[in-house]
Amino acid sequence: MTDSEIDRPLPTEDDVEIAHPAESALDDVPPGHRSGFVAVIGRPNVGKSTLINQILGQKIAIVSPRPQTTRVRQLGILTTDEAQIVFVDTPGLHKPRHELGRFMVETAQQALVDADVILLIVEAHLPPGPGDIMIARQLRDAASEAPIVLAINKIDLTPPDKLQAHVDAYLALVSPVDWVAISALHGAGVDDLRKRLIALLPEGPRYYPPDQVTETYTRNIAAEMIREQVLLNTHDEVPHAVAVEINEFKERENNVIYVAATIYVERDSQKSIIIGKGGQMLKRIGAAARREIEGLTESKVFLELWVKVLPNWRQGEALLKRLGYRIR
């Protein structure tokens, strides 16, 4: 396997199949087959990535307790006999404070325009707050006629005596065509949600081969898995200032995949936190990230990490483009 062969969307085994899928794989669908794009939106940290991972049955999007974990648009593709749903996992809608934040909000807003269905996720244990009100206003202003489905998440955290009042408040806020109470983490209600989304999709062909689950390349998912471990292991001072760049991603002897990556931060103090005393924090991050990447690639992984300071990278368009955030 060459470097280019492992750097591909998962899980298809043949790069040619992705670039030029066989017509039979895309066209051989039953009558009434439904397909389309579902934009997954909501405030930061409401469970968008967790839900997509749960529906797909595998991890393609990183998850952490930190707000704004998702930074770029990511596709999750679910193919069944009756339908193909392309989930567009978007960054959380929020008030941007820097160029990276503006990029994230633009990414989410563009997904609304292109969607066949909009899936709005909110938190059942909380009543609507300022962020939910802002999103409801953006939905009303968006140039989209896509139906809205409301997923009321985290029912496992919600006192039963408060659930109905919160549900009523969210329904009044956005007037969806349908709604489902779910636990994205534990799977409760997720199958019901999937069926309701399929029912709202237009009839159409498959857009992707049936075994493809994402458009994101393996090396990019690996970079996100490293960033995820930084988010999970470091203090509040660090997470939003972190970016990861894959410098090398290739197979060596004995089917071991070598990954070299640089973790960028904006200040020397953040670099010190990530490295930790005697390098212990960086070792912990690297060990956890390596296990995740091994699960992703189903191969042994040798991971090398460096930490470098790149001052104010979130403010500069050129730096954002270099790190994979394409500003229109």
| Radius of gyration of the chain from its Cα atoms, rounded to whole angstroms | 20
Beta bridge partners of residue 85, listed in sequence order: 36, 78
**Block means of pLDDT (10 residues each) for the chain, length 328 residues?**
46 33 56 92 85 85 48 75 89 50 57 84 93 86 83 93 93 93 95 96 90 76 87 72 84 86 89 93 94 85 92 66 55
Distance CA 90, CA 41 (A): 6
Q: What's the pLDDT at 301?
A: 92
Angle at 296 between CA 295 and CA 301, to 5 degrees: 70
Give the integer Cα–Cα distance in Å for 308 and 146. 43
Structure tokens at 206: 């498959």
pLDDT of residue 12: 36
Which residue pairs from 261-264 have beta carbons closer than 8 angstroms and sit at least 24 positions apart in sequence?
261/222, 261/223, 261/226, 261/303, 261/304, 261/305, 261/306, 262/305, 262/306, 262/307, 262/308, 263/226, 263/227, 263/230, 263/305, 263/306, 263/307, 263/308, 264/307, 264/308, 264/309, 264/310, 264/313, 264/323
Distances (CA, A) of 174 to 118, 132, 182, 294: 11, 9, 18, 42
Tell me how far apart the alpha carbons of residues 196 and 151 are, in angstroms, rounded to a whole number: 11
Q: Is 240 left (phi over 0), alpha (psi -120 to 50) or beta?
A: alpha
Q: What is the pLDDT of residue 91?
A: 61
Q: What token pair was written down for 169?
A: 């408040």
Q: What is the pLDDT of residue 34?
A: 96
Tokens of 96: 């941007």
DSSP 228: H
Q: Which residue has the tokens 């030029």?
A: 20
Structure tokens at 211: 């075994």
Contact 117, 199 (CB under 8 A): no
What pLDDT does 71 receive?
45
How much is the pLDDT for 69?
Answer: 44
pLDDT attached to residue 302: 94
Q: Using the 8-state DSSP alphabet, how is residue 202 labeled?
A: P
Instruction: Give the model's pLDDT for residue 122.
Output: 95
Res 30: pLDDT: 84
